[in-house]
Amino acid sequence: MSAPVLLVIAHGSRDPRHAATVHALVRRVRAQRPDVRVETGFLDFNVPSVPGVLESLATEGVRDVVALPLLLTRAFHAKADIPAVLADAPPRLRIRQAEVLGPSPLLLAALERRLYEAGLTPADKSSTGVVLASAGSSDPEAIAVIAEIAREWRRSGWCAVRPAFASASLPRTEDAVRELRALGCARVAVAPYVLAPGRLPDRIARGAAGADVLADVLGPSPEVARVLLERYDAARTPVLAAVGA
């Protein structure tokens, strides 16, 4: 019995860097699990669309699909947009929606990887304040998750970690940078907690002008690919049980 198809659902963007990053991440996932068919669909702006991919899979005779939101928090897209799109899928498809990627210790490892790639070293942790800069959300659950991630990350040895948001919530990145300066951190680094480049990550970068270090977005890091496959494996088990029932 073949494994369920993994459908990675990305938001999409007018910025071509977004789709390029999504495709690079999917290529890494395919390389890690060549036994799993991985497809990509976008909610907006880019092709193929999620409905288009689902129609194609149904036409091919595919039965089982794990739909994985390429999102870091459970906000509006994971709670409303994606379930609505999946509800309109061809009825022959058996679809399970996987959990979003965050939170995960692997994502914290990916954030640190990006900071070290930007010039920090593990020896800098105790004297460096970090801004955990996310896209932002009007969903209180998503905001609370980001705040908890910042608290957890601080316990790993950083001088301080402050959450910040590019939209919908406060504080902004530049405000968190100033706060860390006022706390007396020897250096300030900004770690974008976003998956791909685009308008909001660019806003984070502008807000990081007063920081000493700006890390890259998470992108196709190996840790992100591993989280993606963990979410897939967790979601596929009930699918396989249903098939054997």
Gyration radius of the chain over CA positions: 19
Please check whether residue 195 is in contact with residue 70, taking contact to mean a CB–CB distance below 8 angstroms.
yes
DSSP assignments along 79-148, one per residue: IIIHHHHHHTS-TT-EEEEPPPS-S-HHHHHHHHHHHHHTT--GGGGGGEEEEEEE---S-HHHHHHHHH
HEC string for 193-241: CCCCCCHHHHHHHHHHHHCCEECCCCCCCHHHHHHHHHHHHHHHHHHHH
Q: How far is CA 146 from CA 32, 67, 125, 127, 227, in A?
A: 28, 23, 20, 22, 17
Q: Is the link from the previous residue into 171 a cis peptide, with omega within 30 of 0?
A: yes
- Confidence (pLDDT) at 76: 76
Helix axes 105-117, 140-154, angle to 10 degrees: 60
Nearest to residue 73, comparing CAs of 188, 155, 168? 168
CA 6, distance to chain mean position in Å, is 16
Per-residue pLDDT of the chain (245 residues; tens, 9 = 90+): 689 999 999 999 999 999 999 999 999 999 999 999 999 999 999 999 999 999 999 999 999 999 999 999 998 778 889 999 999 999 999 999 999 999 999 999 999 999 999 999 999 999 999 999 999 998 999 999 999 999 999 999 999 999 999 998 999 999 999 999 999 999 999 999 999 999 999 999 999 999 999 999 999 999 999 999 999 999 998 655 444 43
- Confidence (pLDDT) at 243: 41
Two tokens at 155?
A: 């316990």
- Confidence (pLDDT) at 78: 84
CA 45 – CA 28 distance, rounded (Å): 23
- Confidence (pLDDT) at 1: 65
- Confidence (pLDDT) at 245: 39
- Confidence (pLDDT) at 77: 77
Q: Could you count the other beta carbons within 10 Å of the beta carbon of residue 16? A: 11
